A and B are shown apart, each in its own frame.
Chain A
Amino acid sequence: MSREVSLESTGEGQGFDSGMGASAAEAQPGDASPLEKSIEWSDIKGALVTQSRVIHALIMRETLSRYGDHKLGFLWAILEPLLMVTMIASVVSLMRGNSSESMPLVPFMITGFVPFFMFRNTMNQLKNAVASNRRLLGFPQVTTFDAIVARVLLEGGVLLSVFVFMLSMAYLIGFEFRVENPLGVLVVCLCLLLLGTGIGFVLATLIPVMPSVGQVSSLIFGRPMMVTSGLFFTAESVPEPFRGWLLYNPILHLMELMRSYFFYEFESPHGSWFYAGSWVVGTFTFGLLIHQALRRRAIVGL
Chain B
Amino acid sequence: MTDAIASFGAGGRPVSIHTDDAAKARLKGRYRAEAWFKWLGAGAVALAGFFLVLLLSTVVTQAIPALRLNYLTLPIDLSAAKVDPAKLDEVNYDSIAQEALAAKFPDVTRRQDKRLLRGLISTGTGVFLRKDIAADPGMLGGTVDYAVPLDDFADLYLKGLLADVGSDEAISTSVTPSGTSGDIDLTFGDNGMLALARGHGATEAENGMLTLTSGASSLLVVFNGGTVKLTALSPGANGTAIAKGTVIEALDSTAPAASGQASLRVIDTPEASRKISDKEIVWLDTLKSAGLIESRFNSIFFFTGASREPELAGVWGAVVGSFLTMIVTLAIAFPIGVSAAIYLEEFAPKNRLTTIIEVNINNLAAVPSIVFGLLGLAVFLNFFGLPRSAPVVGGMVLALMTLPIIIIASRASLRAVPPSIREAALGIGASKVQTVFHHVLPLAMPGIMTGTILGMAHALGETAPLLMIGMVAFIVDIPGGFTDPATILPVQIFMWADFPEAGFQQKTSAAILILLLFLVIMNAIAVILRRRFERRW
Asked whether A and B interact, the reply is no
